[in-house]
Amino acid sequence: YQAKQSKSGYAFFDSVRDHHKLQLLTLERDLRQAIENGGLELYYQPMVDIRTTKVSCVEALVRWRYPDLDLTSPDKFIHVAEQCGLIQPLTRWVFNRAVEQCAQWRRAGFLFDVSVNLSVMNLHEQDFVDYVMNTLRQWEVEPSWVSLEVTESAVMSDPSHALEVLSRLDAMGVRISIDDFGTGYSSLAYLKRLPVDEIKIDRSFVIDMKLDNNDAVIVRSTIDLAHNMSLRVVAEGVENPETLRLLTALGCDVVQGFFVSRPLPYDELIRWLSNSAWSAKQRPSFSGRDGK
Ligand code: C2E
Ligand code: MG
Ligand code: MG
Ligand code: MG
């Protein structure tokens, strides 16, 4: 005890570290339970094709129903999952649920696609590609209905490995989308060597583009360059009609943001779709009789 007192500084730091460790252990236990026992929920945020003005895809965004409100946002707990080895079961839960619900809205006559976020660690799982394939098969969902979002930094952290995994997913027919584009240090020229179909311009550039001319210039040149490389462009963080108008003028392909809709739980999404101008419920007419 005496020794401890004489180095009270260390004792203090030790107890802070122990406290932190304990917190992480509690979190790990709670998150594992949430993944296993239905404590997670998916919200879906519509993405609208500017040309048709209809929803073409929805992005699955995970939520954790947790008493600690600070942690319900994925920006916080995805990081925890990555730290304590839970990102594999978490992503698999998300992917499985998103594909299951995609099959469900397809059956209800809504023909838009689904987009799922991956962590860089998922790209290093031995059997990730097989998991994707088996899940699509299980729910009878076409690969072409699915996009996988990987961040620019995830891809750049190990480009040759990313090339290998993304090529196998691409060969399966799944679309690859580069999320948060513009926040990393890659160039589009480099990304073009990967089997990428789409980039999502990070919302930090889009949110202020009507006020900040620098942001507007970045968005414009990114769209032009991406189009020259036959990549589709999504703008995230579209919060008002002026921004939508600007992006339309710049030739952006797809918009996503609070102006269209916040992320919604499945049932609310379906309700929203039934009275939204952005919604196209296209029933395929197998008989070919009513072609209207
Ligand atoms: P993200 O993939 O870039 O997703 C878009 C985020 O922007 C979402 O935050 C969405 O709610 C928010 N957002 C959408 N429109 C607007 C807007 O108009 N204005 C503003 N200010 N924000 C908007 P959310 O749901 O909190 O997700 C945060 C991040 O967490 C996501 O960013 C994604 O990187 C990660 N994430 C979410 N779900 C998953 C998941 O299932 N797996 C993994 N690995 N990451 C996930
Ligand atoms: Mg995303
Ligand atoms: Mg993003
Ligand atoms: Mg983000």
pLDDT score at 286: 45
Q: Quick one: which atom of ligand 1 is closest to the CA of 75?
A: 30
Residue closest via CA to ligand 1's atom 15 equals: 257
Alpha-carbon span 154 to 196, nearest angstrom: 13
pLDDT digits (tens, 9 = 90+) for 33-70: 999 999 999 999 999 999 999 999 999 999 998 887 77
Find the ligand nearest to 256 CA: 1
Residues, CB-to-ion distance under 5 Å, ligand 2:
117, 149, 179
Rounded mean pLDDT, 148-164:
92
Whether residue 83 is predicted with pLDDT greater than 80 in this model: the reply is yes
**Backbone phi, then psi, for 230, in 5-degree steps?**
60, 35
pLDDT score at 10: 57
CA atoms within 13 A on the CB side of 122: 27
Cβ 240 under 6 angstroms from ligand 1: no
- How far is the centre of ligand 3, averaged over its atoms, from the C-alpha of 84 (Å)? 23
3-state class (DSSP) for residue 190 = helix
Cβ 57 under 6 angstroms from ligand 1: no
pLDDT digits (tens, 9 = 90+) for 264-285: 999 999 999 988 999 987 544 4
pLDDT digits (tens, 9 = 90+) for 179-210: 999 988 777 778 888 999 999 999 999 999 99
Cβ 78 under 6 angstroms from ligand 1: yes
| End-to-end Cα separation, the chain, in angstroms | 85
Cβ 154 under 6 angstroms from ligand 1: no
| The model's pTM | 0.91
Unique residue bearing structure tokens 């589009």: 188
Average pLDDT, the chain: 90
